[in-house]
């Protein structure tokens, strides 16, 4: 593979190409064999690591959840997946084929680790929500249907369309088709990222390194690979950016690449809101960078793409998804309020950033420090050598957003969540600029050989492990296992799913339900019910009150699902109830049983379902609705 970008503007043009790579470029067969010799054993090691991860999950499910050895087994497995690959990719001893093979090995192994976490059905909240949208599309044959638990999802139906079409024409279940679509999109995304970095840098070593650093994005191994609309949208974003590179900097087939870019950006706009905004902004940034570099024709072509993307976003917002702004606005307003509060000299209303185990917090802090420190080296290098290269300059500008993400994480309410979401995008330029900096450190020279052989792999492995430790699932659900009250994946068990399916079968879809945090998504997805947020008031008071009745009527709550385990265990997530839970993070003992069973004593309330731990009450005709 060769880059068609002008050699003087290539980021690797300033140093001598790595010896092995340059000889491999010339096609010497012994180096091809060497790459194979590394890639094959690394693939086997990664597979054995995956086996350890799967064994840890199985042990945790089979009654060893409280033992420490499954956790150690899990981390050993993860180290076997990423460690040798990181060593090889940093070492510069690979050919391009070896680089790609190792990168895809890590990507596939990490994806399979995610599948192993939940190998029978979707249990991640976001996956269950999109499962519901897909099933609705399959049944109705219509787009833009109703999804009570994630109302915005049917208005960005790309993922559901691909999955429904695949399930329809192959006869596969939605789960199997969804896994195929998500895995294809995930592998595609990493492969395309590699190609983007490869085209920009002209070096497969830098490209492999940049893609590997991107893999330290805390969301990548779970959130960005799950059956959710962003997983597919980022693949479309990547193909659009690659096509945009060809349109602006390439020399061949510009019309064809322009068509690919337009198809990619339209698919992005249909598939995910935030990703489409990031794509439009990226194309605009590239246009500005090309204009600043006095590359007029490239600037015009990038500006055309940016205009098409912006136009498509606006049209989609107006015609198909006008509710997007009301969906995204509360998060944006909360963020702005926190930043404003901080700028005014006060304190933000944000709770402190992630409070996991000390080891995870330390790892997170170290990673932030390392990345924050390494980026200026990349900026300096870009300034010195590549300030006339618009794509590299655009990447540098994008990478600077990393510091904004760090600030958001520290000051914003729910900052860890927002920072995690942003990292999906920010890590793209960050990975590239950090790879340039690492490459600068690792330039050939005896005095620095220890950097390549020792320190750099250690740093890369550190940031990769941080991505796993501080990504998803949270540390208290890192391994699957027995039920946890008010958790995420570990609150999805047969009892919850059967209850949700019973509700759909017996009560019909779309009923207004009050439920706890753990049952909220299951009811909304597998049960196709319409669960309400901010319902703590119903459970925490020991007796009926007129104020509660007013709130019930205002929220049109018809049914109340009570999980009696809330009176026995503390919430794993820190909050018992979805939305605003006044006690979130402050619960020191389980809920009072009196508040949970009071419904049986309230006149007119029907107790319509009982499965032991889970009881459903019907409030219609009761004092809650009495005049």
Partner 1 sequence: MRRNQKLAALTGSAAVAGFAVVSAGLAGPALLVAGLLLAVAPGYVWAEVLLGGRGPVLERVLVSASLALACPVIGGVALYVSGVPLHQVQWAALLAGSTVTGDVVLLLRPDRARPAGPGRPGPAWRPAQVALFAVAAVVAAGAVQVARYGAEHQQYTGFTQLWLAPQQSSAELASLGVANYQGSTDSYRLVLRRGSRVVASWTISLRTGQTWQRRVPLRPGLRTSADLFLLPDLAHPYRHVAVSATASSTP
Query: Of all residues in the chain, what percent are helix, strand and coil, respectively (each to 5)?
Result: 65, 5, 30
Q: Does 118 bind partner 1 (CB under 8 A)?
A: yes
Per-position DSSP letters for 444-502, written without gaps between them? S-GGGHHIIIIIHHHHHHHHHHHHHHSSSS-GGGSS--S--TT-SGGG--HHHHHHHHH
Q: How far is the CB of 319 from partner 1 (least distance, A)?
A: 10
Q: Does 564 bind partner 1 (CB under 8 A)?
A: no
Q: Does 71 bind partner 1 (CB under 8 A)?
A: no
Cα–chain-centroid distance for residue 369? 22
Query: Using H for helix, E for strand and C for coil, what is the string for 75-123?
Result: HHHHHHHHHHHHHHHHHCCCCHHHHHHHHHHHHHHHHHHHHHHCCCCCC
Residue from 73, 92, 102, 105 touching partner 1 (CB under 8 A): that is: 105
Residue from 131, 257, 432, 517 touching partner 1 (CB under 8 A): that is: 257
Residue from 158, 431, 457, 571 touching partner 1 (CB under 8 A): that is: 158
Residue 294, sorted as left (phi over 0), alpha (psi -120 to 50) or beta, turns out to be left
| Inter-residue contact 622 to 603 (CB < 8 Å) | yes
The one segment of 54-62, 341-349, 370-378, 548-556 that binds partner 1 by CB under 8 A: 54-62
Question: Quick one: 38 or 335, whose CB is closer to partner 1?
Answer: 38
In the three-class reduction of DSSP (H, G, I as helix; E, B as strand; rest coil), residue 592 is classed as coil
Q: Does 277 bind partner 1 (CB under 8 A)?
A: no
Find the helix or strand (DSSP H, E) in which 313 lies. Answer: helix 296-319
Q: Does 480 bind partner 1 (CB under 8 A)?
A: yes
Q: How far is the CB of 268 from partner 1 (least distance, A)?
A: 9
Q: Does 67 bind partner 1 (CB under 8 A)?
A: no
CA distance 107 to 220: 10
Task: Give 325-330 contacts, CB < 8 A, sequence gap 24+.
Answer: 327/151, 327/152, 327/273, 328/273, 328/274
Question: Quick one: 234 or 335, whose CB is closer to partner 1?
Answer: 234
Residue from 147, 183, 216, 271 touching partner 1 (CB under 8 A): that is: 271
Question: Quick one: 417 or 493, whose CB is closer to partner 1?
Answer: 493
The one segment of 258-266, 368-376, 384-392, 453-461 that binds partner 1 by CB under 8 A: 258-266
Question: Quick one: 9 or 239, whose CB is closer to partner 1?
Answer: 239
CA distance 240 to 261: 4
Q: How far is the CB of 199 from partner 1 (least distance, A)?
A: 9
| Inter-residue contact 249 to 5 (CB < 8 Å) | yes
Q: How far is the CB of 95 from partner 1 (least distance, A)?
A: 7
| Inter-residue contact 128 to 215 (CB < 8 Å) | no
Q: How far is the CB of 195 from partner 1 (least distance, A)?
A: 6
Q: Does 97 bind partner 1 (CB under 8 A)?
A: yes
Q: Does 169 bind partner 1 (CB under 8 A)?
A: yes
In the three-class reduction of DSSP (H, G, I as helix; E, B as strand; rest coil), residue 275 is classed as helix
| Inter-residue contact 530 to 556 (CB < 8 Å) | no
Q: How far is the CB of 164 from partner 1 (least distance, A)?
A: 7
The one segment of 116-124, 366-374, 443-451, 543-551 that binds partner 1 by CB under 8 A: 116-124
Q: Does 560 bind partner 1 (CB under 8 A)?
A: no
The one segment of 92-100, 375-383, 411-419, 529-537 that binds partner 1 by CB under 8 A: 92-100
Q: Does 603 bind partner 1 (CB under 8 A)?
A: yes
Q: Does 572 bind partner 1 (CB under 8 A)?
A: no
DSSP symbol at 353 = S
Q: Does 568 bind partner 1 (CB under 8 A)?
A: no
């Amino acid at each position: 593979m060769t880059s068609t970008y002008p050699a003087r503007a290539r980021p690797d043009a300033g140093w001598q190409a790595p010896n092995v790579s340059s000889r491999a470029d010339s096609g010497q067969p012994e180096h091809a064999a060497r790459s194979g010799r590394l890639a094959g054993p690394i693939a086997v090691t990664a597979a054995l690591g995956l086996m350890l991860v799967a064994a840890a999950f199985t042990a945790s499910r089979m009654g060893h959840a409280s033992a420490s050895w499954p956790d150690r087994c899990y981390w050993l497995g993860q180290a076997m997946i990423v460690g040798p690959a990181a060593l090889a990719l940093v070492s510069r001893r690979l050919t391009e084929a070896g680089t790609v093979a190792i990168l895809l090995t890590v990507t596939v192994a990490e994806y399979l680790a995610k599948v192993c976490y939940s190998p029978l059905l979707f249990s991640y909240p976001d996956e269950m929500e999109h499962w519901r949208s897909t099933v609705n599309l399959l049944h109705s044959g219509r787009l833009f249907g109703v999804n009570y638990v994630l109302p915005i999802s049917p208005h960005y139906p790309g993922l559901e369309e691909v999955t429904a079409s695949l399930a329809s024409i192959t006869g596969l279940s939605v789960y199997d088709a969804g896994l195929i679509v998500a895995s294809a999109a995930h592998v595609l995304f990493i492969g395309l990222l590699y190609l983007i970095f490869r085209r920009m840098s002209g070096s497969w070593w830098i490209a492999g390194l940049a893609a590997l650093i991107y893999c330290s994005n805390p969301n990548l191994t779970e959130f960005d690979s799950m059956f959710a609309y962003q997983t597919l949208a980022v693949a479309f974003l990547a193909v659009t950016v690659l096509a945009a590179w060809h349109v602006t900097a390439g020399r061949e087939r510009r019309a064809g690449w322009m068509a690919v870019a337009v198809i990619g950006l339209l698919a992005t706009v249909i598939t995910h809101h935030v990703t489409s905004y990031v794509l439009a902004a990226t194309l605009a940034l590239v246009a500005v960078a090309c204009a600043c570099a006095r590359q007029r024709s490239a600037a015009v072509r990038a500006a055309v793409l940016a205009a098409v993307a912006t136009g498509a976003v606006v049209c989609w917002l107006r015609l198909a998804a006008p509710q997007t702004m009301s969906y995204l606005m509360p998060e944006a307003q909360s963020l702005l309020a926190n930043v404003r509060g901080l700028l005014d000299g006060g304190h933000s209303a944000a709770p402190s950033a992630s409070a996991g185990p000390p080891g995870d917090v330390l790892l997170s802090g170290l990673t932030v420090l390392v990345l924050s420190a390494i980026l200026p080296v990349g900026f300096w290098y870009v300034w010195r050598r590549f300030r006339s290269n618009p794509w590299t300059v655009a990447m540098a500008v994008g990478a600077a957003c990393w510091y904004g993400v760090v600030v958001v994480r520290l000051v914003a309410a729910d900052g860890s969540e927002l920072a995690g979401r942003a990292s999906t995008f920010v890590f793209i330029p960050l990975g590239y600029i950090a790879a340039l900096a690492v490459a600068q450190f690792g330039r050939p020279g005896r005095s620095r050989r220890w950097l390549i052989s020792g320190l750099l792999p250690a740093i890369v492995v550190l940031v990769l492990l941080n991505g796993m430790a501080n990504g998803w699932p949270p540390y208290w659900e890192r391994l699957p296992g027995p039920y946890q009250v008010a958790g995420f994946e570990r609150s999805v068990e047969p009892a919850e799913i059967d209850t949700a399916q019973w509700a759909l079968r017996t009560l019909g879809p779309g009923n207004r339900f009050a439920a706890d945090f753990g049952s909220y998504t299951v009811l909304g997805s597998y049960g196709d019910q319409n669960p309400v947020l901010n319902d703590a008031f119903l459970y925490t008071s020991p007796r009926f009150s007129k104020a509660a009745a007013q709130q019930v009527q205002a929220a049109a709550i018809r049914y109340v699902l009570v999980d009696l385990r809330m009176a026995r265990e503390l919430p794993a997530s820190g909050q018992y109830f979805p939305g605003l839970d006044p006690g979130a993070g402050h619960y020191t003992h389980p809920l009072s049983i009196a508040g949970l069973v009071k419904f049986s004593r309230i006149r007119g309330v029907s107790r319509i379902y009982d499965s032991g731990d889970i009881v459903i009450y019907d409030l219609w005709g009761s004092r809650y609705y009495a005049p």
